[in-house]
Amino acid sequence: MPETAVTAGHVAGVDEVGRGPLAGPVVAAAVILYPGYDCPGLTDSKKLTARRREALDARLREEVLAFALGQASAVEIDRLNIHHATLLAMRRAVAGLDPVPAHLRVDGRFAPEGPWTSETIVGGDGSVAAISAASIIAKVARDRHLAELHREYPGYGFDRHAGYPTAAHRAALQRLGPCPEHRRSFGPVARALAAGASVCAAAGERGA
Against a cut of 0.85, is the pTM above it?
yes
pLDDT bin (cut points 50, 70, 90) of residue 199 is low
pLDDT at position 179, please? 95
Shared-domain flag, residues 122 and 181: no
pLDDT at 202 over 90: no
Q: Is 107 domain-assigned?
A: yes
| CA 56 from centroid of its chain's CA atoms | 16
Q: What are phi and psi of 200, to 5 degrees?
A: -65, -25
CATH number of the structural domain spanning residue 132: 3.30.420.10
Q: What is the pLDDT of residues 156-165, one digit of tens each?
A: 999 999 999 9
pLDDT at 204 over 80: no
Shared-domain flag, residues 104 and 176: no
pLDDT at position 200, please? 43
Shared-domain flag, residues 62 and 24: yes
Q: What is the pLDDT of residues 42-68, one digit of tens each?
A: 999 999 999 999 999 999 999 999 999
Q: Is 7 domain-assigned?
A: yes
Distance, in Å, from the CA atom of 198 to the CA atom of 195, rounded to the nearest integer, reads 9
pLDDT bin (cut points 50, 70, 90) of residue 195 is confident
Shared-domain flag, residues 182 and 134: no
Average pLDDT of the chain, as a whole number? 91
Handedness of CA 145, 147, 153, 158 (dihedral sign): positive
Q: What is the average pLDDT across 3-20?
A: 78
pLDDT at position 93, please? 98
Shared-domain flag, residues 88 and 165: no
pLDDT at position 203, please? 45
Q: Is 208 domain-assigned?
A: no
Domain that holds residue 27: 3-149
Total domain count, the chain:
2
